[in-house]
Amino acid sequence: MKEDEVALLKARIAELEHRVKISQQTLRQYALIKRKHKEALDFLNSQKRFTASIIESSSHAVIAINHQKRVVLFNGAAERIFGYTKKEMLNKDTLHLIIPPKYYKDHVRAVDHFLKTGESIGIIGGRVELEGQRRDGTLFPVRIGFGVGENNGKRVIIANIEDITKERRQSQMMQQHNKLAAMGEMIGAIAHQWRQPLNTLATAVQNLELDYAEGLLCDEQYVKEFIQKNKQIIKFMSKTIDDFRSFVRIDTEKESFDVMEATQDVVNMLSAQLNHHGIKVSVRGESFLFKGYRSEFQQVIMNLLSNAKDALLQADVVEPTVTVTISKGKIEVCDNGGGIDESVLPRIFEPYFTTKKEQGTGLGLYMSKMFIEEHMGGTLEALNRGDNACFVIHLRVKDKVHV
Ligand X SMILES: Nc1ncnc2c1ncn2[C@@H]1O[C@H](COP(=O)(O)OP(=O)(O)OP(=O)(O)O)[C@@H](O)[C@H]1O
Name the site residues for ligand X (rule: CB under 6 A).
181, 303, 307-308, 311, 335, 337, 340, 344, 348, 353-356, 360-366, 389
Name the binder of 331 from Mg ion, ligand X, none, CB < 5-8 A by kind.
none
Q: Please give the Cα distance from 87 to 96 (Å, whole number).
A: 16
> Which one of the spans 156-164, 194-202, 305-313, 337-345 is the region binding Mg ion (CB under 5 A)?
305-313
Cβ proximity to ligand X: between 266 and 363 the closer is: 363
Cβ proximity to ligand X: between 31 and 344 the closer is: 344
Name the binder of 298 from Mg ion, ligand X, none, CB < 5-8 A by kind.
none
Residue 397 CB, nearest approach to Mg ion (Å)? 26
Residue 189 vs residues 118, 244, 267, 358: alpha-carbon distances, Å:
59, 10, 10, 20
Sheet holding 154-163, edge to edge: 71-74, 61-65, 154-163, 139-151, 127-133
Q: Please give the Cα distance from 210 to 193 (Å, whole number).
A: 28
Cβ proximity to Mg ion: between 233 and 345 the closer is: 345
- CA angle, 40 as apex, 36 and 43 as ends, to 5°? 135
307 counts as binding Mg ion under rule CB under 5 A: yes
Cβ proximity to ligand X: between 37 and 385 the closer is: 385
Cβ proximity to ligand X: between 2 and 357 the closer is: 357
Residue 180 CB, nearest approach to ligand X (Å)? 10
Residue 304 CB, nearest approach to ligand X (Å)? 7
By CB under 5 A, the count of residues binding Mg ion is 2
For residue 295, the Cα-to-chain-centroid distance in whole angstroms is: 17
Residue type, position 232, single letter: Q
Beta bridge partners of 198: none
Cα first-last separation, the chain: 126
Task: Enumerate the H helices of 137-253 as residue ranges.
Answer: 165-213, 220-248
Cβ proximity to ligand X: between 18 and 277 the closer is: 277
Cβ proximity to Mg ion: between 264 and 307 the closer is: 307
Name the binder of 279 from ligand X, Mg ion, none, CB < 5-8 A by kind.
none
Residue 284 CB, nearest approach to ligand X (Å)? 18
Rounding to the nearest 10 degrees, give the CA dihedral for residues 205, 265, 190, 323: -120
Which of 129, 147, 132 lies closest to 83 in space, CA to CA?
132
Cβ proximity to ligand X: between 209 and 387 the closer is: 387
Identify the sign of the CA torsion 353, 355, 361, 364. Answer: negative
Residue 372 vs residues 81, 256, 351, 366, 395: alpha-carbon distances, Å:
31, 15, 15, 10, 8
Which of 1, 133, 157, 3 lies closest to 68 in space, CA to CA?
157
| Cβ partners under 8 Å of residue 154, min gap 6 | 66, 67
Residue 327 CB, nearest approach to ligand X (Å)? 20
Residue 330 CB, nearest approach to Mg ion (Å)? 21
Name the binder of 89 from ligand X, Mg ion, none, CB < 5-8 A by kind.
none
Residue 305 CB, nearest approach to ligand X (Å)? 9
Name the binder of 356 from Mg ion, ligand X, none, CB < 5-8 A by kind.
ligand X
| Cβ partners under 8 Å of residue 257, min gap 6 | 289, 290, 291, 292, 294, 297
| Cβ partners under 8 Å of residue 301, min gap 6 | 262, 263, 266, 267, 324, 331, 333
Q: Please give the Cα distance from 401 to 379 (Å, whole number).
A: 20
Residue 357 CB, nearest approach to ligand X (Å)? 9
Name the binder of 246 from ligand X, Mg ion, none, CB < 5-8 A by kind.
none
Cβ proximity to Mg ion: between 244 and 391 the closer is: 391
In the DSSP assignment, the letter for residue 136 is: T
Binding mask 350-369 for Mg ion (x = CB under 5 A): --------------x-----
Shortest-Cβ-distance residue relative to Mg ion: 364
Residue 286 CB, nearest approach to ligand X (Å)? 24
Q: Which residues bind Mg ion (CB under 5 A)?
A: 307, 364
